[in-house]
């Protein structure tokens, strides 16, 4: 793989909005890493399944190392612009990582209630309307 990639749920309004923020504000340049909805990605080539991508944000490094949920958020921030990098490092600190995981899971469960969320965000991918 030539480039690291962040994989998000393209059916989720919150995820899509945050991915745009990552692409335009966090990422220094388009060559730093790819931002892609899992619905548009070659998941097999990345070693991911639709279920994994539906459950949490995924990061696959250029070496193939995978991270998900809060760890994927940390990896994105570490690969981004300088103001974001220290926050990525802090998220990986063991006690902070556990707290970040709890926050991530709460947001993931409630993303349909957040600004930009849609009712489809509350459904597993297999149950979402086409």
Total number of domains in the chain:
1
Average pLDDT over residues 100-125: 78
Instruction: Give the β-pairing of 58-60 and 33-37.
Output: unpaired
For residue 69, give both structure tokens: 């949920």
Instruction: Give the β-pairing of 33-37 and 4-8.
Output: parallel
Q: Is 44 contained in some domain?
A: yes
pLDDT of residue 125: 56
Residue range 49-100, pLDDT digits in tens:
999 999 999 999 999 999 999 999 999 999 999 999 999 999 999 999 999 9
Q: Is 30 contained in some domain?
A: yes
Q: Is 10 contained in some domain?
A: yes
Segments forming the whole domain that contains residue 78: 4-125
- In this prediction, residue 114 has a pLDDT band, given cuts at 50, 70 and 90, of confident
Global pTM? 0.87
pLDDT of residue 12: 87
- H/E stretch holding 31 reads none
Q: What does R_g of the chain's alpha carbons equal in angstroms?
A: 14
Q: Is 46 contained in some domain?
A: yes
Q: Is 118 contained in some domain?
A: yes
pLDDT of residue 123: 54
Instruction: State residue 23 phi and psi, 5-degree precision.
Output: -65, -35
Residue range 4-45, pLDDT digits in tens:
999 999 988 889 999 999 999 999 999 999 999 999 999 999
Q: Is 101 contained in some domain?
A: yes
- In this prediction, residue 110 has a pLDDT band, given cuts at 50, 70 and 90, of confident
Beta bridge partners of 66: 60
pLDDT of residue 127: 53
pLDDT of residue 81: 95
- In this prediction, residue 117 has a pLDDT band, given cuts at 50, 70 and 90, of low
Q: Is 130 contained in some domain?
A: no
């Amino acid at each position: 793989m030539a480039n690291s990639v962040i994989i998000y749920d393209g059916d989720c309004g919150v995820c899509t909005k945050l991915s745009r923020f990552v692409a335009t504000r966090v990422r220094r340049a388009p060559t730093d890493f790819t931002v892609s909805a899992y619905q548009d990605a070659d998941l097999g080539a990345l070693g991911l399944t639709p279920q994994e991508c539906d459950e949490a944000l995924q990061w696959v490094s250029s070496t193939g190392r995978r991270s998900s949920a809060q760890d994927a958020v940390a990896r994105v921030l570490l690969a981004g612009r300088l103001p974001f990098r220290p926050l990525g490092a802090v998220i990986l600190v063991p006690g902070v990582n556990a707290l970040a995981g709890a926050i991530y899971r709460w947001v993931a469960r409630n993303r349909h209630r957040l600004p930009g969320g849609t009712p489809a965000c509350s459904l597993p991918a297999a149950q979402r309307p086409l």
